[in-house]
Amino acid sequence: EVLNVGDEIRGIVLKFDRESERVSLGYKQLKAVPWTTATLKYPTGSRVKGKVVSLTDYGAFVELEEGVEGLIHVSEMSWSKKVKHPSKVLTVAQEVECVVLGIDQEAHRISLGLKQVESNPWEQLVEKYPVGSKIKGRVRNLTEFGAFVEVEDGIDGLIHISDMSWSKVKHPSEVLKKGDTVEAQVLSIDADNQRLSLGLKQLQTGIWKDFFDKHRVGDVVDGKVVRLTNFGAFVELADGIEGLIHVSEFDSSQGGEKLELRAGETYQMKIIRLVPDERKIGLS
């Protein structure tokens, strides 16, 4: 790649062994060591161009000049997409533009970033969707703890199971299905760690306000027992609205006997406590 048979060249004597009659020569030593000026030529934050010379599982090596290569780690290839292998983004011999992230002149290492050439979409997300704003997206995946919603290409937000409904939800599939288009409220955005928290129940404030506006302590209402616990029974009073009958309120008015409540059955009960700020309803 460098020399041809018959070429006349200049070299530097590196070693002379009289006994073995061997002379070791150097060719690269005729040129200045490229790494001696690398810090000046490739300062941190600067944009550079180079050619991809090899791909590994963990990144791509880019030749910036003869004798000087930098590494684009796989984690520095995309802001929003998880790159499983560098070959999904780059190819050998491809010319690329990247940003110098750091340089270790003594170790002859340069860290490069490909995604830094473009603006970080997560930083733009903070401006586009401030906390409290509404956002639409498609449910991409369900887990035991929540649902991931794709709000933009490669950017997912998480609706935690605790933020799906004011009523208790055992599994996200009770509320959402994969492929659903949902509207949610932005709860928080952490651009540095690329985390977007969303909430469904925060948009359901209207039904609670209507309930508290229309009901007072002492009202008798019909409610369906949805689940029983060791401390009481949760009762559905309207779609998305639940109250609690504490176990101490199970007593019958005749003789103080405990009433046997059954899940799925509807009973008459009295409202004994209303806490609008905490969305709590006490029943008897």
What are the DSSP calls for 5-59, one per residue? TT-----EEEEEETTTTEEEEESGGGS--GGGGHHHHS-TT-EEEEEEEEE-SSE
CA distance 157 to 137: 9
Q: Is the pTM of this model over 0.95?
A: no
DSSP 101: E
Q: Is 150 within 8 Å of 186 (Cβ atoms)?
A: no
Residue numbers of the chain with a pLDDT score lower than 50? none
**Closest to 188 (Cα-Cα) out of 160, 208, 164:** 160
pLDDT at 272: 94
